[in-house]
Structures are given as C-alpha cells and as structure tokens.
C-alpha cells in the first residue's frame, strides 16, 4: 500500500504542477489581452518616416476599428492572398476569412498615410499554442505602393517588441511552402525556425501539407525550449511580407524590401 500510495501522490503532484504551469501561461496571455494599447510602451514605433513614406501606426482591437477599415483589410488580404489559397488544399472562402479577421481576440496594427488612408496592417493575437504563451501573427499585408520600403519589416519588428514586453515565449506565423519568396525570407533572412507544431515536424500530414508553421523565440522563450508534439490548432496566416525582427538584419534586408 505504501508504494502505491507514493505513486499516487507523485501523479497528483505532477498534475498540480502542470495545472499551475498552465494557469501561469494563461495569466500572461490574459494580461496581454487586457492591455488598452500594447504599442503604448513603444511611442517611437508609432511613426515610420523612411524611404519616401510618412505613416502613423496604431494598435487596436478589431472591435475598435471602423467597419470601413475592416472591409479594407479584408479586401487587401483577398487581393494579395486568394491565389495562394487556391493553390493549397484549403481554397479561398470569403466567409471563413472574414470570420477569422473579425474574431473578438483579433488585434490590429494599422499603418496610415496622411493619418487617413490605410496602407498596411498586421492581424495578430496573444494566445496559447501547445502549452506556450505566444504572439501569433495571422496577417501582414501591404498595399503595392508601399512595398519594398521597409514598412513591412517595421511592422514585424513591432510584433517582436510587443511579444517581449508581454512576456510571450515566441512569435509564430504560418507560410505557404509555394510562397517561395516569403518562405525563404522568414527562414533565411529572419532566421525563423520550423516550429515543433508544424506538420513536417509533428508527423501530421508532413509533405502533403502546403504550409509550414514557423516561429522565432523571444528572450522569454530562449531559456526554455519546449518540444511539445502535436498539431497547432491556430488558424493559418500568410506573411506576404517584408519583415524583420532585429536591427542587425537591416543591411541584409534592404534590397529585399
């Protein structure tokens, strides 16, 4: 009886520790989602004045956006990404994409030209993925007239800063394998890794899947590399973009964006 009782206590203790760890993860995500403006801590990043652009950047929940702005973001995503979707096993579905983009958990970075014309955006969320607290980037989309001017990489740098400031462990995104420019950009220029939850790593679908889940760890994730198996349940995003995380990449990326 003593041995069985000891094992039962160990199992119970392990369950309690796992529950406490998950409660701590969820508490960080909840705290991030309670922020009024995650960009408030970085006022210098609310303006982008380079390469002929002069834009202001704001961060809002989807519920704080004007309907016309949401419609613009959806239309831009459709213009940029519909063909990519149609070349995958998912296909393009207006209703599903709009529902994803208007989910109550959605946050947006919006870049405004002349304070009135939207020219770029990122849709992201603070969420839990495979037991980790993460900032999951669903979209980074730019109007054609503002591409290759560094704005995309600036938006992604903001995401990395916000992920660090809210103690998320990593920034995650999903990219189509056939979106060769974006895939190469994130893997090589930005040094994103294929995440453990990606189909090619988890054994789910593998080579049959048209996408990879990529991630880059923050300073809070560097010391604790989790290797949880399984398939990420986060909806996919498509990084059409121009992005960068660290200033040291500026020269290498200048020609790309």
Pairing of strands 211-217, 193-194: antiparallel
For 143-155, how does the pLDDT look when each residue is reduced to its tens digit (9 = 90+)? 999 998 989 889 9
pTM: 0.81
Six token digits for residue 92: 């393009």
Six token digits for residue 150: 């560094």
For 182-237, how does the pLDDT look when each residue is reduced to its tens digit (9 = 90+)? 888 778 877 889 999 898 887 766 577 899 999 999 999 875 554 333 323 333 33
Cα–Cα–Cα angle for 202, 224, 191, rounded to 5 degrees: 65
Give bridge partners of residue 107 from the DSSP assignment.
61, 124
For 156-178, how does the pLDDT look when each residue is reduced to its tens digit (9 = 90+)? 889 999 999 999 999 999 999 99
Q: Which residues of 246-257 are buried (b: 16+ CB within 10 A; e: fewer)?
A: eeebeeebeebb
Q: What is the pLDDT of residue 223?
A: 58
Q: In Å, what is the CA distance from 47 to each residue of 39, 109, 219?
A: 11, 12, 25
């Amino acid at each position: 009886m003593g041995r069985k009782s000891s094992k039962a206590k160990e199992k119970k203790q392990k369950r309690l520790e796992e529950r406490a760890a998950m409660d701590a993860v969820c508490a960080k995500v909840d705290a991030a989602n309670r922020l009024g403006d995650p960009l408030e801590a970085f006022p210098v990043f609310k303006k982008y004045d380079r390469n002929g652009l002069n834009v202001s950047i704001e961060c809002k929940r989807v519920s704080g956006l004007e309907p016309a702005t949401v419609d613009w973001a959806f239309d831009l995503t459709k213009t940029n990404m519909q063909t990519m979707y149609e070349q995958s096993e998912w296909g393009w579905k207006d209703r599903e994409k709009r529902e994803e983009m208007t989910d109550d958990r959605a946050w947006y970075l919006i870049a405004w030209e002349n304070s009135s014309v939207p020219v770029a955006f990122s849709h992201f969320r603070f969420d839990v993925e495979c037991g980790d607290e993460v900032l999951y980037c669903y979209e980074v989309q730019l109007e054609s007239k503002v591409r290759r001017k560094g704005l995309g990489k600036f938006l992604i740098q903001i995401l990395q800063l916000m992920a660090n400031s809210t103690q998320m462990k990593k920034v995650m995104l999903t990219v189509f394998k056939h979106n060769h420019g974006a895939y190469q950009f994130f893997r090589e220029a930005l040094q994103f890794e294929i995440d453990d939850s990606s189909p090619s790593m988890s054994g789910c679908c593998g080579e049959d899947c048209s996408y990879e889940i990529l991630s880059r760890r923050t300073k809070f994730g560097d010391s604790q590399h989790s290797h949880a198996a399984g398939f990420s349940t986060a909806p996919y995003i498509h990084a059409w973009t121009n992005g960068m995380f660290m200033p040291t990449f500026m020269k290498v990326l200048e020609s790309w964006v």
